[in-house]
Structure formats: structure tokens, C-alpha cells
């Protein structure tokens, strides 16, 4: 280079601090309680359709549906979460999820919202009253008056154990932060 033709070195710009990871959750109601599932597991949400019962299936499997040629097992979350049974309503939906490469439908009373929250807003599920509880619930998010339990769909499908849904929700409410700190939307 010729003298005087030197270029100034570009300014060193500090790399932006990595932004917090945002997760998207699909929130829904089952038995008057709010739950959520990672939206990346959800393929679609459809209205209820005719279910064909499957003999000798676990009690929580409602049966199977034919969804555009694919046979999909349908899980009744009320039964799976040890809640009183109820006939489907106009708001009832099947949330079609993918678990381990397989599709499965979850019967929910209503889909309420899609949440975008920082991963840090998902708190660890509290100590459970039963040993099986922590596997079924990945965490808790939302303000104390509207806590949502983040379901571990894979664990719900892999086990025949009873899931202590009501017990977990009561413990989560007891341990939720009070006041302005709410850890969710």
C-alpha cells in the first residue's frame, strides 16, 4: 500500500447480547384447568370427528380417527389427567401432535391461545405428591391466577400410570410467586 492510502480499520462492534430464547406454547382447557404444549409438537387442531373404539386399549385411549387417510390414536386428556368425564361441546377440539415420529390426537375442552414467552418464564414443576408427577409435567408458566401446566406429551403416552393433574395444579398454585412477579404473559 502507498503511504496515506491506508484504510482505517473498521470499528469493532460488540456482538449483541444473545436475546432470550422465546418459546411458543399452545394453551388449552381440560376440566376447567389450563394446560399448554410446545407448539412445535402440534401439527394441527381440528374439530372432533367420529372415533372408532379400540378394544383392550388403555382406558385413556378414546379410540382412533381417520385423518385424511392416516389412522391416529386419540387420547382423552380428562381420563388421562384423572378428571371427571364430560361430553364434547362446541368448543372441544382434537389437538394433533407428533410424538416420536407418530401422530396422536389429544381431546381438549377448548383451545384458548398461543403464548410467546421467554424460556426463563417457565418454572420447574413443583415437588409432587406422587413420584410419577414430574415426568408428566415439564413446568409451569403464567401468572398465579392463571397458571398453565406444560404437559410432557411423550410421558403421557408412554405410561399407564395415573396422572395426578389436580394434585399438581394445587401444589403449583401454592408455590407460585405472588404480586408483580408472574413469569408469564
User: With bands split at pLDDT 50, 70 and 90, how would you rate the model's confidence at 55?
Assistant: very high
Residues 6+ away with beta carbon under 8 Å from 20: 118, 119, 120
Residues 6+ away with beta carbon under 8 Å from 147: 34, 140, 141, 169, 172, 173, 176
Predicted confidence (pLDDT) per residue in 154-172, tens digit: 888 876 655 554 444 445 4
User: With bands split at pLDDT 50, 70 and 90, how would you rate the model's confidence at 62?
Assistant: very high
Q: Compute how many other C-beta atoms are within 10 angstroms of the C-beta atom of residue 14.
A: 6
Q: What is the DSSP letter of 73?
A: E
Predicted confidence (pLDDT) per residue in 72-112, tens digit: 999 999 988 888 888 888 999 999 999 989 999 999 999 99
| pTM greater than the 0.85 cutoff | no
Q: How far apart are CA 137 and CA 1, in angstroms?
A: 65
> Does CATH number 3.30.499.10 belong to domain 22-170?
no
Model pLDDT, residue 180: 43
Provide the residue ranges of all domains of the chain, joining segments of one domain with +: 22-170
Amino acid at each position: 500500500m502507498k503511504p496515506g492510502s491506508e484504510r482505517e480499520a473498521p470499528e469493532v462492534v460488540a456482538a449483541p447480547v444473545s436475546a432470550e430464547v422465546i418459546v411458543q406454547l399452545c394453551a388449552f382447557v381440560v376440566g376447567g384447568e389450563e394446560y399448554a404444549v410446545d407448539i412445535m409438537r402440534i401439527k394441527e387442531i381440528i374439530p372432533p370427528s367420529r372415533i372408532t373404539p379400540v378394544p383392550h386399549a388403555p382406558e385413556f385411549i378414546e379410540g382412533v380417527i381417520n385423518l385424511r387417510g392416516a389412522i391416529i390414536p386419540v387420547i382423552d386428556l380428562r381420563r388421562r389427567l384423572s378428571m371427571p368425564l364430560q361430553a364434547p361441546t362446541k368448543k372441544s377440539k382434537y389437538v394433533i401432535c407428533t410424538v416420536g415420529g407418530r401422530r396422536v390426537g389429544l381431546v381438549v375442552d377448548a383451545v384458548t391461545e398461543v403464548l410467546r414467552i421467554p424460556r426463563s418464564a417457565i418454572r420447574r414443576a413443583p415437588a409432587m405428591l406422587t413420584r410419577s408427577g414430574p415426568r408428566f409435567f415439564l413446568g409451569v408458566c403464567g401468572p398465579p391466577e392463571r397458571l398453565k401446566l406444560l404437559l410432557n406429551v411423550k410421558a403421557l403416552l408412554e405410561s399407564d400410570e395415573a396422572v395426578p393433574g389436580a394434585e399438581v395444579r394445587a401444589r403449583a398454585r401454592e408455590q407460585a410467586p405472588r404480586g408483580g412477579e408472574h413469569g408469564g404473559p
